[in-house]
Amino acid sequence: MNFSEVFKQSNQLCKVSPDGKYLATCVQYRLVIRDVNTLQILNLYTCLDQISHMEWSSDSLFILCAMYKRALVQVWSLEQPDWHCKIDEGSIGLVSSRWSPDGRHILNTTEFHLRITVWSLCTKAVSYIKYPKACQKGLDFSRDGCYMALAERRDCKDYVSIFVCDDWHLLRHFETETQDLSGLEWSPNGCVLAVWESCLEYKMSLYSLDGRLLSTYSAYEWSLGIKSVSWSPSSQFLAIGSFDEKVRILNHITWKKIAQFEHPAIIDNTKTVYKEIEKRPAVSSDEMSLHDITVASSLFSTQSKYDISPLPVQIPVVKPDPDRANPKIGVSALAFSSDSRYIATKNGGFQVHSLNWHCSGDSLILIGKDQLCLCYMDADQNNE
Amino acid sequence: MMPESSLVKDHYGISVKCGAPLLRHFNQSSLPLHGNTNAQSAFCTQQNVPECLSHINQEVSSLGLRTIWTELDESSDLNVVTVLNCMHDLIQLHRRSLRTLENMEVEQLKSSSKLDYLQLSTTRLKEQLECSKRENTGLLERERQLQQKVKSLQNCLKNEKEEMQKLQNMIASRATQYNHDMKRKERDLNKLKERLSQLLVDKKERKQAIDVLNNIGRADGKRSVWKTEKTEAKHEGEMYKTLLSDYDARQRDLVLENAELRRVLHQVKNDMVSLLRLKKLTQKGVQNERDGTQANSEEEQEEEGFEPGKELFSVHASEKLTNSIRLQWRRLKSHVEQLDSQVSLAQVNAGKSSETTPRETQEEEVDKLKLEIQEYKDLIQTQQHLLQHQLSSSCDEITSLRNDGYMLQEKERLRGEWKTLEGQRSIFERERKNFTEAAIRLSHERKAFEEDRATWLKHQFLSLSPCGDPKKLMLSNPTGETELNLQLTQEKLSEFLSDSASTPKYRSSSSLSTVDLHHALHATPENLLIKPKVKTTNTEESRNLWEDFPILQELSEP
C-alpha cells in the first residue's frame, strides 16, 4: 500500500465527489478541488468566511460551501469556474445547509429552526417551509430522490410533511403518534417511513408513503429507548439499537421483532473474537515534531495486529456517568452490509465514529478518531 | 445350763436363741397370753420354779431391768415387790414398745401414702413433661415456619428494593434527560430573546438575497412546470403507483413462498404416509401388503389428481392439507413413541450387558428403514413425475378416461383369452399323454399282431400245402384278425399321432384322425367282412372287435 503526502484540511471537511473523480477539501476559507487519481489541484475557490460545511451536489457538478457565522452559502461550479452563486440568509441566520437530491435546490435551515428556505438555482425562486422540528434527524430524502419527509412541530404536536422534490409540492401532512419525535428515515424502497421517539420513550412508528400508520413497535417502557436506527438495503429489515445495549430487528411484513442481539460484557457464544493488540515503541513526546511526522516510517510506529482471542472474552466496559444526559451506553451505530446478510453494531463508549460497509458486502471500515480499520471477511467468519 | 432351749422346744415348739429378736418373742408370746393359758402354765410348773426364776431373771437382766431374784437370797420365795416392779417395768416396756410400734405403723402409713402421692405426682409430672415436649416441638416447628416466612419476605423485600432501585435509576436518568433538554431549550430561548432584542435595537436588517451569475438548467434537462391541479394529481398518481408496485412485488414474493411451502408440506405428508405404510407392512404381513399397496396407490392417485385441480387459492384445500398433515404427524408421533417404549422394554429385558447389541441392531434396522424410505421416496417421486407428465400430456380428461377404459377392456379380454389358452394347453397335454399311452399300447399289440399274422400266414401257407391243421388256424385266427386290425389301426394312429404332434392345431386334429382312420380303414373292411363269413366262430370275436373298437364300427357302417 502506498501513501500520498499529507494534505491540510480543516473541520474534517474532505469529500470525494459522488462520481468518484474529484476530491474536495476545505482549508480555512479555501476550497481545493483535486483529481482523485493524480491528486493535482484542479480548482481553487475562495469563500468569504471560514467554511463550516461543504457538500457535493448529486451530479458532481456543484459544491456548496456554507458559512454559518455569516449566514452565507456559496455555490461553486466545476465546469465553469467563474460561475458563482451566493445565498445570503440575512439576519435570520443559518444553522444548516444542504443540497436537494436533484442537485439544483439548496435547503437552508435558519437559526432557531424558524423555517427552512428552499432556494432554487434554476429559477431563483424561494420557498419556505414553516415550523421544522429541531431534532436529531428531522429531514430525510428518499433514496430515489422523489420525496422528502420533514418533521414539524406545531402547537406542541408532531407532524410529518411529505414533499415531492420535483416542485416542492406538499403531498401529505399528517400528525404522528409521537410525543417528541426524534428522527425519521425512509426505507430504501421509498414506501415506508420509520419515525421514532426521543430516548425517553421506546416507540417506533411506521408510516406508509401515503401517510397511513402501518404499525408501532415498543420493546419496553420507562427506560431510555432508541439510540440508533438502520434499514437493511433490501427494505426487509429494520434494525433498532437502544440504550439497553440490544439490537432488535423487525421484519417488513408483520413489523414485529424477529431477532434480538445482545452485547453482553462477557462474550461466549460467537465464533471468533478479534482483539487488537497494540505494540507501542517507547517514544517520548519531545520527538514527535512535525518533522518526524512527515517521515513515513515513524507514522506507523505503533503497530497493531489482531489476534483471535479464546472464548469467553471479557470486554473492558467503562461505566458511563449516569448523571449526565445522553449517556455513552447503548448501541450507537448500526450498519447493514449491502446484501443484508450482516449487521455491524457499536455498543458502548468505544472510540469508533462510524461503521461503513463496502458495497460488495464483504469488508467493513471502522473509523475512529485517529485511526481507521478495515475488516475483511472470509467465507465463514464474522467479525465482532 | 441350757434348760431354756430344751424347755422351750418341748413346750412352745419355738426355738429361742440367745439375743433373739425380743419383739418377735413378745408378739408371739402375746398371743398365747390372750389365748392359751395352757401354754403359759406349761412354762412354769411347780417343779421347775427355780429354773423358771433363773430363766426370767436372765431375761429381765438382759432387758436391762432389775433382777427379781438372786441366788444369794435365802428364801426361795419371790420378793413380791421386785416382781411387781419387774412386772411393771415389763408392762411399761411393753407399752413403750407398743407405742413405738404404733408410731412406726403410723409412720409407715404416712410414708406409704407419701409414696403414693409421689407416684401420682411423678406420673402427673411425666405427663406434663410429655405435654410440654410436644408443645416445644410444635413451637419449634412454628418458629421454623416463621423463619422461612421471614426469609421469603426478606427476599421479596430485596427484590422490591432492587426494583425500586431500578425504577429510581430510571427516574433519575429521565430526570437528567429532562433537565438537559430543559436547559437546552432555555438556552435557545435566551438566544432567541437576545436575538429579538438585537433585531429590535438594530434597525438595519439584512434581507435575504440570492446572487447568481446565471440560471442553470435543471438536472434532468426538462423545463420546470407550473404548479397546477394536474401536476398535483400526477404526483398523487405517482405516489400510489410506487406503493402499488411495492405491494405487487411483495405479494408475488409471498405467493411464490406460499407455493413453495405448500409443496414442501405435501412432500412431508407423503413421506410420512410412506413411512407409516412401511411400518404397517412389516407389522401386518404379506397379504395386507397387496391390499395396502392397492389402496395406497389409489390414495396417491387421488392426491396427485387433487393437487393440480384445486389450485392454491382455495382455503378448503389448504385446510385439508394441514389437517391431513396433522393427522399423519400424530400417527407418526404415536408410532415413534411406540417404538421408543418397545426399545426401552427391550433394553430393560435384555439387561445391561447386552445394551450395545440391541443398539447396534437398532441402528442397522434404522439404516435399513432409511434405505427403504429413500427407495419409496424415489418411487413416489417417479410416480409423481409420471402422473404429472401424463396429466400434462393428456389435454382432455374424458379422452384419457376413455383410453383408460379401453385399456382395461383390452386387458380383461387378453386375460380371458390367456385363460382359455391355458386351459386348452392343459387339455392338449392330457390328450397327448393319453395318445402316447395308447400309442405305446398299440405298438405292443401291433408287435403281437404282426407275430400272429406271420404265424397265421405261415399256417395258411402251410394249410394251402397238404400238411396243415385247420384247428390251429381257427385258434389262431381271432387273434390274428384282431391283431391285423389292431396293427392297421395302430399304423394309422401312429401316422396320425406323428402328424398331429407336428401341428399345434389340435382342434382339427381330432377330425383329421377320424377321417384319416376312415380312409385308412377303407382297405380293411373287406378283410373284416370276409373273415366272419369264413369262420363262424369269428363273429363273436368280430363283435368283440367292434365293441373294442367302436370307431371301426362307425367307420365301417357308413
The reply to whether residue A324 touches residue B176, judged by beta carbons under 8 angstroms, is yes
Report the gap between the CA of A244 and the closest CA in chain B (Å): 12
Output the DSSP codes for A54-113.
EEE-TTSSEEEEEETTTTEEEEEESS-TT-EEEEE-GGG--SEEEE-TTSSEEEEEPGGG
Query: What confidence score (pLDDT) does residue B21 get?
Result: 46
Alpha-carbon span A170 to B143, nearest angstrom = 77
Least confident of A29-38, B251-260, B473-482: B473-482
Residue B515 in this model has a pLDDT that exceeds 80: no
Q: Is B215 in contact with A122 (Cβ distance < 8 A)?
A: yes
- Closest Cα to residue A337, out of A259, A239, A264, A263? A239
Total Cβ atoms within 10 A of residue B500:
22
Nearest by CB to A210, from B208, B219, B240: name it: B240
Check residue A174 and give its pLDDT: 94
Structure confidence at residue B270 as a pLDDT band (50, 70, 90):
confident
Write out the three cell numbers for B203.
434597525
Instruction: For residue A277, tell me if it sits in a domain.
Output: no
Q: Looking at CA atoms only, how far is residue A359 from chain B in angstroms?
A: 24
Q: Is residue A73 domain-resident?
A: yes
Q: pLDDT at position B488, please?
A: 55
**CATH at residue A80:** 2.130.10.10
Model confidence at A97, pLDDT cuts 50, 70, 90, reads: very high
Could B205 and A326 be called an inter-chain contact, meaning their C-beta atoms sit closer than 8 Å?
no
**Beta strands across the sheet bearing A14-16:** A14-16, A22-27, A30-35, A41-46
pLDDT at A274: 61
Mean per-residue pLDDT, B248-276? 88
- What is the structure's pLDDT at B404? 79
Quick one: closest CA in B to A91, which residue? Answer: B206
A309 Cβ partners below 8 Å, 6+ apart?
A: A273, A274, A275
Give pLDDT tens digits for B280-293: 776 665 444 444 44
Contact A58 B219 (CB under 8 A): yes
Per-residue pLDDT at B394: 60
Does any domain span residue A41?
A: yes
Contacts of A166 in chain B (CB under 8 A): 235
**Domain assignment present for A17:** yes
For residue A143, is pLDDT > 50?
Answer: yes
Beta carbons of B210 and A124 less than 8 Å apart = yes
Out of B181, B209, B220, closest to residue A88 by CB: B209
What one-character DSSP code corresponds to residue A48? S
pLDDT at residue B86, rounded to an integer: 80
The least confident of A8-22, A201-215, B137-151 is A8-22
Whether A340 is in a domain gets the answer no
Residues 6+ positions from A61 with CB-CB distance below 8 Å:
A77, A78, A79, A103
Between residues A265 and B169, which one has the greater pLDDT? B169
Residues 6+ apart with CB under 8 A from A204: A194, A195, A196, A197, A216, A217, A218, A226, A229, A238, A240, A250
Chain B residues inside the 8 Å CB shell of A324: 176
What's the structural domain count of chain A? Answer: 1
Give a yes or no: residue A276 inside a domain: no
A338 pLDDT above the threshold of 90: no
Q: Are B203 and A357 in contact (CB under 8 A)?
A: no
> In this structure, are residues A152 and A174 in contact, taking their beta carbons and an 8 Å threshold?
no
Bigger pLDDT: A39 vs B315: A39
**Is this complex scored with an ipTM above 0.85?**
no
- Burial zone of B410 (CB within 10 Å; 0-12 exposed, 13-18 middle, 19+ buried): exposed
Percent pLDDT > 90 in chain B is 24
- How many C-beta neighbours within 10 Å does residue A120 have? 22
B408: buried, middle or exposed (CB in 10 Å: 19+, 13-18, 0-12)? exposed
> Average of pLDDT values for B355-373?
81
Listed range (A15-24, A70-79, A286-295, B154-163) with the worst mean pLDDT: A286-295
Average pLDDT of chain A? Answer: 80
Identify the sign of the CA torsion B513, B519, B523, B528.
positive
What is the distance between the alpha carbons of residues A246 and A239, in angstroms, rounded to a whole number? 10
How much of chain A, in percent, has pLDDT values that exceed 90?
29
* CB of A165 closer than 8 Å to CB of A147: yes
| Mean local confidence (pLDDT), B547-558 | 50
Task: With cut-offs at 50, 70 and 90, classify the pLDDT of residue B335.
Answer: confident
Whether residue A312 has a cis bond before it, omega within 30° of 0: yes
Mutate to test the interface with B, among A221, A223, A226, A242 (most CBs of B within 10 A): A223
Report whether pLDDT(B544) > 80: no
Cβ contact B239–A209 (<8 Å): yes
pLDDT on residue B127: 97
For A59, name the nearest residue in chain B, comparing CA atoms only: B219
- The C-alpha atoms of residue A210 and residue B276 are separated, in whole angstroms, by 54
CB atoms under 10 Å from CB of A381, counted, come to 12
A20-24, B100-104, B242-246, B481-485: lowest mean pLDDT where? B481-485
For residue A41, the 8-state DSSP code is E
CA–CA distance from A340 to each of A253, A361, A376, B247 (Å)?
Answer: 16, 8, 16, 20
Instruction: Place B164 in a pLDDT band, splitting at 50, 70 and 90.
Output: very high
Q: Which of A342-356, B69-83, B385-399, B446-460 has the lowest mean pLDDT?
A: B69-83
Instruction: Tell me, yes or no, whether A68 lies in a domain.
Output: yes
- Enumerate the residues of chain A whose CB falls inside 8 A of the CB of residue B192: 112
User: What pLDDT, in 10s, does the model give residues B35-48?
Assistant: 445 555 577 787 88
Note the pLDDT of residue B306.
43
* Backbone dihedral angles phi then psi of residue A147, each to the nearest 5 degrees: -125, 150
Q: Measured between beta carbons, which residues in chain A are less than 8 angstroms from residue B217?
A: 122
State which residues form the domain around A100: 9-119
Q: How far is B187 from chain A (nearest CA, A)?
A: 11
Q: Pick the range with the lowest mean pLDDT from A136-140, B291-295, B428-432.
A: B291-295
Q: Say if A47 falls within a structural domain.
A: yes
The pLDDT mean for chain B works out to: 74
Q: Is 60 exceeded by the pLDDT of residue B353?
A: no
Which candidate, B50, B52, B34, B54, places its Cα nearest to that of B42?
A: B52
pLDDT the model gives residue A345: 73
User: Using an 8 Å Cβ cutoff, are A88 and A72 in contact?
Assistant: yes
**Res A29 pLDDT > 60:** yes
Q: Per-residue pLDDT averaged across A40-46, rounded?
A: 89
Would you say A362 and A377 are in contact if contact means Cβ atoms under 8 Å apart? Answer: yes
Q: What would the 3-class secondary structure string for B134-183 be?
A: HHHHHHHHHHHHHHHHHHHHHHHHHHHHHHHHHHHHHHHHHHHHHHHHHH
State the DSSP string of B23-87.
Answer: HHHHHHHHHHHHS-HHHHHHHS-STTHHHHHHHHHHHHHHHT---S--TT-SSSS--HHHHHHHH
Q: Which of A178-187, B102-111, B220-229, B508-517 comes out lowest in average pLDDT?
A: B508-517
